[in-house]
Each structure stands twice: as C-alpha cells, then as structure tokens.
Amino acid sequence: MNTRREYRFKLISNRKPHSPVSDAYRGIRTNIQFLKRKNDIKSILVTSTRAGEGKSLTCINLAIAMAQTNMKTLYVDADLRRPGVHRAFVLSNETGLTSYLLGECDLETVVHEEVMANLSIVTAGPVPMNPVELLESPSMTQFLEKMADRYEMILVDSSPMIVPDASILAMLTDGCIFVVEAQKTKRASAQRAIQQLKKLHVNILGVVLNKQKEKYLSEDYYYSY
Ligand SMILES: Nc1ncnc2c1ncn2[C@@H]1O[C@H](COP(=O)(O)OP(=O)(O)O)[C@@H](O)[C@H]1O
Ligand SMILES: [Mg+2]
C-alpha cells in the first residue's frame, strides 16, 4: 500500500493485524460468525446516529477482518450522500452503486473484485439527487439478493440515521451494527435511533463503542454485545 492509501481511514486490520485494535475487530467478527451460523446472516448494515462517528472505519475494518478468514466478503458503500471508500482504496468512483441502480451498468462492472484477498468493493458512484428513491427502488433489493448469491458476507456502509437511507437499508439487510462514539454520541439521540430500528423490526446484532479513550480502557476501541 502506498502512502496515498493512508488517508482518512485507518485500515488497521490490514496494516497492523496483531494490534489490540485488530483484535477488537476480530472479536466483533467472531460474534458475527457465531450469530451467522445460528441465523443465516448474509448482509449486515453499519449505521450510527450522525456523521463522523466511525461507521465507515468500523465497516471497512470488519470487512477486512472477515476477508482474512477466507470468507468471500463484499463491502458496499451505500452512503450515497458522503461516500468515501473509493478514496480509502484509491478506486475509481465513476461508476458505482448509484450507476447500477440507475441501470447505467451491470453487476459485473460495478464490483471492484478482490481489492484484497477475498475482499471485493462496490463504491457508491456519483452522488445522486434522490438517494432515498434509489435505495427504495426494486433495483436495490435485487442488487443485495444477487450479491448474496455471490458472496458469503456483505457489509453495507450507510448514512447516519438522521436521514431515512439507513432505515431503508436496515429493512433490506439481515442485521445491523450500530456505532456509538464514546463521550460524543448523545444518549437520547442513540436511543431514538435504536428505537426507530426496533420499530422496523431490524435485527440489531450489536453496538460498537468507537473512539474510546485509553484512560477509560486499555485499547482505542471497544465493542460490546
Ligand atoms: N477509533 C478511531 N480512532 C481514530 N480515528 C477514528 C476512529 N474512528 C473514526 N475515526 C476517524 O474519524 C473520521 C470519521 O470516521 P468515519 O468512519 O468516516 O465516520 P462515519 O462513516 O460515521 O461518518 C475519519 O477520519 C476516521 O478515520
Ligand atoms: Mg461514512
């Protein structure tokens, strides 16, 4: 990986596989694998209350951790408002999920296959005027169904719950991971968002507590189920 690939995201699971932080992601992975065996979970949405809490970072590191177990993994950048994974991996975003949903490209061309061993990526594509409409369209359902035949695990990165996008995606996926930013996310806002997911009968697989300070824990990240 060149230095341009250091960017916004800390692809820690890949760059420092033996760090405590990578261990934390592996811990979450183990929990997911356990739940997956019991409940046949194929696709997981990662969301949070608002922007900047660490959804994308959690989602990509989890995807890497999954891929490292030889599971055929697909990361989908479905944050159509503030996409970012293409920058993290220096991938072209000229076509992406939005292009597929608009019928401008097919399933084969939309996937960046094996960006890393066992990890393929669908970037978000050009930012659309109507993200809600696109995510609600039958094409999005078909996209996830077709991808579920091709990959063993699909991790879907999304917008925060302040916009409807994540709720729509939560109903199309098999489970959801909710990211909370330590000392930042307001308890009431997180509760409201989780209530909203529960109302939609979303299977909340767990909550990731991100950016926890060392003075509270011996590691940067902590996870709880
Ligand atoms: N635990 C963490 N430690 C350090 N930086 C982090 C951590 N989690 C997220 N960040 C940084 O915070 C910023 C926002 O994270 P991101 O994953 O893009 O949030 P979101 O997708 O929820 O908007 C990024 O620059 C990311 O690298
Ligand atoms: Mg993000």
- Return the domain boundaries, the chain: 3-224
- The residue whose two tokens read 């098999």 is 174
Q: Name residues whose C-beta falls within 8 Å of residue 216's C-beta, 6 or more positions apart in sequence.
A: 182
Distance from residue 70's CA to the centre of ligand 2 (Å) = 25
B/e letters for 34-60, b = 16+ CB within 10 Å, e = fewer, are ebbeeeebbbbbbbbbbeebbbbbbbb
Ligand number with the minimum distance to the CA of 8: 1
Percent of the chain topping pLDDT 70: 88
Stretch 87-104: mean pLDDT: 95
Sheet architecture: strand order including 204-210: 112-116, 119-122, 73-77, 153-157, 43-48, 175-181, 204-210, 222-224
Percent of the chain topping pLDDT 90: 68
Residue with CA at minimum distance from ligand 1 atom 27: 9
Binding pocket residue ranges, ligand 1, CB within 6 Å: 8-10, 48, 51-57, 84, 210-211, 220-221
Quote the CA–CA distance of 207 and 39 in Å, as a whole number: 18
Residue with CA at minimum distance from ligand 1 atom 8: 54
Phi and psi torsions of 139, nearest 5°:
-60, -35
Pick the closest to residue 73 from 33, 124, 16 (CA basis).
Answer: 33
Distance from residue 102's CA to the centre of ligand 1 (Å) = 30
Half-sphere exposure of 134 (CA within 13 A, CB side): 21
Quote the pLDDT of residue 122: 98
Q: What is the pLDDT of residues 185-224, one digit of tens each?
A: 899 999 999 999 999 999 999 899 888 876 554 444 444 3
Ligand number with the minimum distance to the CA of 9: 1
Q: Name residues whose C-beta falls within 8 Å of residue 29's C-beta, 6 or more positions apart in sequence.
A: 62, 65, 66, 69
**Confidence check: pLDDT of 182 > 70:** yes
Pick the closest to residue 57 from 155, 128, 173 (CA basis).
Answer: 155
The answer to whether the CB of 54 falls within 8 A of the CB of 181 is yes
Q: What is the pLDDT of residues 115-172, one digit of tens each?
A: 999 999 999 999 999 999 999 999 999 999 999 999 999 999 999 999 999 999 999 9
Q: Which CATH class is domain 3-224?
A: alpha beta
pTM above 0.95, yes or no: no
Quote the pLDDT of residue 11: 66
Quote the pLDDT of residue 219: 46
